[in-house]
């Protein structure tokens, strides 16, 4: 499937891997794909930016999700240390797998491209697939938390192609 990705869609995936690695996350999730879209140079990222979900806003929202999850179990994120900085190189160089939801988004992007009879999968297809996730999905929660109308976002993303 990756051979059908446009340059921008590949950049989304590379960005997602880098973001997850920089954070030390054990898996690449939909939130990383959303951040990956926001960090690309593409019409899909321009759309996110115009709607108030630019790269920095998405990254901040991911950190806020972490804080909320830890607070739910009684942990203050500021009071914990996330590990020694000396293993930074190791964290960046290891393979990070995609979680089930992120894989489903990439498959959804393929299905969207096929439905539209497009020969390639673009960042707009990934963005559209991110809007089709369930209400508890991290990417969806980030979008809604930033005040984004996901139906409008989907419509606009697909109109770009």
In sign, the C-alpha dihedral spanning 50, 8, 143, 80 is negative
Pairwise CA distance, residues 58 & 100, whole Å: 21
Determine contact, residues 37/45, Cβ cutoff 8 Å: yes
Pairwise CA distance, residues 10 & 1, whole Å: 11
How far is the CA of 157 from the CAs of 45, 84, 105, 109, in angstroms? 10, 40, 15, 12
Nearest to 78 by CA among 86, 70, 87: 70
Supply the pLDDT for residue 128: 97
Instruction: Write a three-state SS string for 35-86.
Output: HHHHHCCCHHHHHHHHCCCCHHHHHHHHHHHHHHHHHHCCCCHHHCCCCCHH
Determine contact, residues 96/25, Cβ cutoff 8 Å: yes
Nearest to 98 by CA among 16, 9, 5, 27: 27
Supply the pLDDT for residue 86: 42
Task: Give the domains, in start order, of the chain with CATH numbers.
Answer: 2-159 (1.10.1780.10)
Determine contact, residues 150/131, Cβ cutoff 8 Å: yes
pLDDT per residue, tens digit, the chain (161 aa), is: 678 999 999 999 999 999 999 988 999 999 999 999 999 999 999 999 999 999 999 999 998 886 766 556 666 656 555 554 444 544 455 789 999 999 999 999 999 999 999 999 999 999 999 999 999 999 999 999 999 999 999 999 999 55
């Amino acid at each position: 499937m990756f051979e059908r990705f446009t340059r921008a869609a590949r950049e989304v995936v590379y960005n997602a891997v880098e973001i997850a690695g920089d954070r030390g996350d054990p898996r690449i999730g939909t939130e990383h794909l959303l951040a990956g879209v926001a960090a690309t140079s593409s019409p899909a990222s321009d759309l996110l930016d115009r709607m108030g979900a630019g790269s920095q806003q998405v990254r901040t929202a991911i950190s806020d999700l972490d804080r909320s999850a830890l607070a739910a179990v009684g942990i203050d994120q500021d009071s914990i240390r996330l590990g020694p900085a000396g293993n930074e190189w190791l964290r960046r160089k290891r393979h990070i797998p995609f979680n089930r939801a992120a894989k489903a988004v990439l498959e959804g992007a393929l299905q969207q491209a096929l439905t539209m009879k497009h020969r390639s999968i673009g960042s707009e297809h990934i963005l559209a697939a991110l809007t089709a996730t369930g209400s508890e999905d991290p990417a969806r929660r980030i979008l809604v938390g930033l005040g984004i109308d996901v139906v409008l976002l989907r419509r606009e993303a697909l109109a770009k192609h």
